[in-house]
Amino acid sequence: MGDLVTSIPTLNPGERLLCGPGPSNVNPQVLQAMQLNMNGHLDPDFWDILVDLAAGLKALWRNPDGLSLCFSASGTSGMEAGITNLVAPGDKVIAIHAGFFGARLADLARRHEADLVEVTAPLGQIAPLEAVEAALRANPDTKLVAVVHAETSTGVRYPVPELSALVRQVTPDALLMVDAVTSLGGEQVEAAGWGIDYGYSCSQKSLGCPPGLSPFTVSARALEVQKANKHRGPYTYDIAELARYWVDRPITYHHTMPILQYYALYEGIRLGLEEGLERRWARHQDAGQYFQAQMRERGYTFLSDPQHQLWELSAVNVPEGVDGKEVQGKILRQFNIEVGGGLGPTAPPIWRVGLMGVNANREAADRVLAAFDAVLPR
């Protein structure tokens, strides 16, 4: 038998500038919100908070109809919930992917016994719309098309409006599921305008909140599909059950929410709306493009096809002969700055630099650039 300790050390995490693929640093005002009086999850005053939060989520997703709520778990739960709510075993799903998170989406569809069709491309590219069109035409019985809007593993943006138009034209009854984990709050996401039937995100990237929540949005027609789905997925992520808690009154207990996390999300969204979504997107764009231009000037190149380059996240190719992990470690230890490396066993040697949430500005970019310059002199 092993030994049991009688105490553990006082918690003392070091200060970090979080410029990896997420989490980003928590906005100090968001942290303050987590120190407000905690109500219980069945307190009528907390229900009022939820009503305002749901209104904020609608505004954030730009979806006046349907439902915009949140799962009490990280972005992966939003991904899984999309499949379990909207797909029954044997349903045809087209997963479009060229990166770690898109591949995970396909994997989840497979786990839930969907009849899976995959449309892929090399890392750094997007799966071409022509290939998607061919897959749609070959599979007119498609129930769901799933794609990652901002692929954090490669720094690539998928053209969701064009995809949506194609899906509506070729297979109008198929639902469109979009991963907006990295994009929501950091660039334009228009759930209603782009015809997104189910979108999910996270709290810890462009929204500047702590990790652990997954805001989602569902269209009215996807809600009908969910209601008619005879295959009931996990109770925890059942959208209809969750809505009975968030929307129906008197409230029906679903689960004990992590209330302080929800205060944080509330404040994060309140601040986002106060800043103005367009201004916030422009701030992310400016920071990312500034960082990329500065890196290019230094001779660095990027994994992503420039036509589809994200600005929230830059996947920088590690130059020949450089040990990427060592550089990443030095930047962390000498400069207290977190940048990411490649994700998954097939990732090429890259650094992933995120400028999201409170870090989406040129000052944070300059700190990262200075760290690269010091560790890898030109």
Ligand X SMILES: Cc1ncc(COP(=O)(O)O)c(C=O)c1O
- The candidate with the shortest Cα–Cα distance to 49, out of 228, 256, 254, 262, is 262
Quote the Cα angle for 12-16-21, to 5°.
125
> 65 or 107, CB closer to ligand X?
107
Q: Pick from 152, 154, 314, 359 the residue near ligand X by CB under 6 A.
A: 152
Name the minimum Å distance from CB 348 to ligand X. 17
> 170 or 213, CB closer to ligand X?
213
Q: Which amino acid is at 106?
A: A
199 touches 191 (CB < 8 A): yes
CA 316 to chain centre: 20
What is the DSSP pairing of strand 350-354 with strand 313-317? antiparallel
- The residues that bridge with 150 in the sheet, in sequence order, are 157
74 binds ligand X (CB under 6 A): yes
179 binds ligand X (CB under 6 A): yes
- The candidate with the shortest Cα–Cα distance to 284, out of 364, 338, 201, 348, is 364
> 211 or 349, CB closer to ligand X?
211
Q: Which of residues 2-41 bind ligand X (CB under 6 A)?
A: 21-22
> 126 or 170, CB closer to ligand X?
126
**Cis-peptide into 23, omega within 30 deg:** yes
148 binds ligand X (CB under 6 A): yes
> 148 or 369, CB closer to ligand X?
148
Q: Pick from 79, 121, 126, 136 the residue near ligand X by CB under 6 A.
A: 79
202 binds ligand X (CB under 6 A): yes
Q: Give the Cα separation of 79 and 347 in Å (integer).
A: 21
Contacts with ligand X by CB under 6 A: the residue count is 14
Q: Which amino acid is at 26?
A: V
201 binds ligand X (CB under 6 A): no
267 touches 203 (CB < 8 A): no
Name the minimum Å distance from CB 275 to ligand X. 22
Token representation of residue 85: 């709510």
155 binds ligand X (CB under 6 A): no
Name the minimum Å distance from CB 146 to ligand X. 11
> 103 or 170, CB closer to ligand X?
103
The interface mask with ligand X, positions 272-291, x = CB under 6 A, is --------------------
> 205 or 280, CB closer to ligand X?
205
340 binds ligand X (CB under 6 A): no
Query: Residue 297: left (phi > 0), alpha (psi -120 to 50), or beta?
Result: alpha
265 binds ligand X (CB under 6 A): no
Q: Would you call 142 helix, strand, or coil by DSSP?
A: coil
Q: Which of residues 97-126 bind ligand X (CB under 6 A)?
A: 101
CA distances from 34 to 54, 205, 264, 268, 365 (A): 18, 17, 6, 11, 28
> 150 or 257, CB closer to ligand X?
150
Q: Which residues bind ligand X (CB under 6 A)?
A: 21-22, 74-76, 79, 101, 148, 152, 179, 181-182, 202, 211
